[in-house]
Amino acid sequence: MHPSEGARAIVTRPLNAGDARVPAGAPARDAEVVCLGESMVTFLPRAPGRLAEVPAFDRAIGGAESNVACTLARTGHTARWVSRVGTDGFGDHLLAAVAGCGVDTSHVQRDPLRPTGIYFRTAGERATGLDGEAADRGEVLYYRAGSAASAMTPGLLDPAALHRARILHLTGITAALSDGCLGVLRTLTRRTPDRPLVSFDVNYRADLWRDPAQGPGLLLGLARGCDLVFVGEDEAAAAWDLHGSRTVRAALPEPATLVVKHGAAGATAFDRQPDGTDTVTFAPALRVEVVAPVGAGDAFAAGFLSGTLRALPVFTRLRLGHLTAAAALTAPGDLGTPPGRALADRLAALGPDGWGALRLGPGWTADGAHRTGGRTGTVHDPRTPNPPATGRASTAERHVPRRSRDSEVRT
């Protein structure tokens, strides 16, 4: 039974949640979330096929951390992006695009000697490094070696810009870019009494690491220094040979909150209580008509962080993560249009039957689509009669067993 239907809900939050009182002597918080990491100009194919065969591309932006910042800003939060870009036209475009989402870019440095990174990709999912994964994974071709962002070092960054926030969000991608970037993450994941809540998305990309054998151990060490960690079950298997969410938690006992994502099946959150036990919460995902899977993980993190900032129950945070991820899944680029807060909150409050009946397709976050039932099949609210029949489960969902009940248990 969903908590809104009378079940006993355990309302929890990380031990140093973003809504906690600021310790004496800590810097004043002038942003809700600060995201640090490289963003690039991305080129998306105008037609399906291999990169060698695609005749033309459309320009967009992409970067795990700026994706999170943009999504949070577009849902009403104050967000800052900290990075470095070149003084080239691509750097101009990135700054304009991110700032256009309402993100504070005043702490993005311009480098006259190094270029802004770019990359080309197809629409499929990125390879995880797992043996036997599907051969039709998408292609990603990076031109980021020697980029302005890869030159980040602890000494180049303004500590105040990073710590004047309730949440500092990082990802494992930054650690793979250079020794200097790894040094930045090591510095920011050290536990100090005045730091904000540190959020970390593992984002394991085997092909980014110069020494593939080194990456998994470094990522595990960084994750242990954080307060909130996101990791995909497939990532944990590929990087650390860990299988199952409880096995991942056993390897990562330090974070106050650990979120293990099970792809199209859902996500499980482990939330540490003052007595040392965990509250374990599972929330099933949604049925989504997938346009492109890239960016969904960043969107999920943004939705969960939004719920954390608002001190919502963990179950609701997970559902907000699923809803925001669905907005990215139903758009061709890294950034989808996130649902407005009122719509997201209303859908997140549905009972299990209503949640399971949702079908989300392209355009479902548009104003009015949720009220009409979407004559074009964009979304079906179970309280609207005559649901459209255009929604379908993603390929991944058809191969991953779904759990039949929402669950909250203490271990």
* Rounded CA separation 41/54 (Å): 18
- Buried/exposed 234-264: b ≥16 CB within 10 Å, e otherwise: bbbbbbbebeebebbbebbeebbbbbbbbbb
Quick one: which of 358, 276, 288 has its CA closest to 325?
288
Q: Which of 201, 227, 271, 298 is catalytic?
A: 298
Q: How far is CA 27 from CA 31, 133, 191, 196, 199, in A?
A: 11, 46, 16, 9, 18
Quick one: which of 175, 261, 178 has its CA closest to 219?
175
Dihedral of alpha carbons 64, 66, 69, 73, sign = negative
Dihedral of alpha carbons 337, 307, 329, 124, sign = positive
Residues 6+ apart with CB under 8 A from 35: 65, 66, 68, 69, 79, 80, 81, 82, 169, 170
* Rounded CA separation 262/402 (Å): 10
The amino acid at 144: R
* Rounded CA separation 118/120 (Å): 7
In this structure, what token pair is assigned to residue 319? 């559902």
Confirm whether 211 is a catalytic residue: no
Total residue length of the chain: 411
Q: Which residues are catalytic?
A: 298
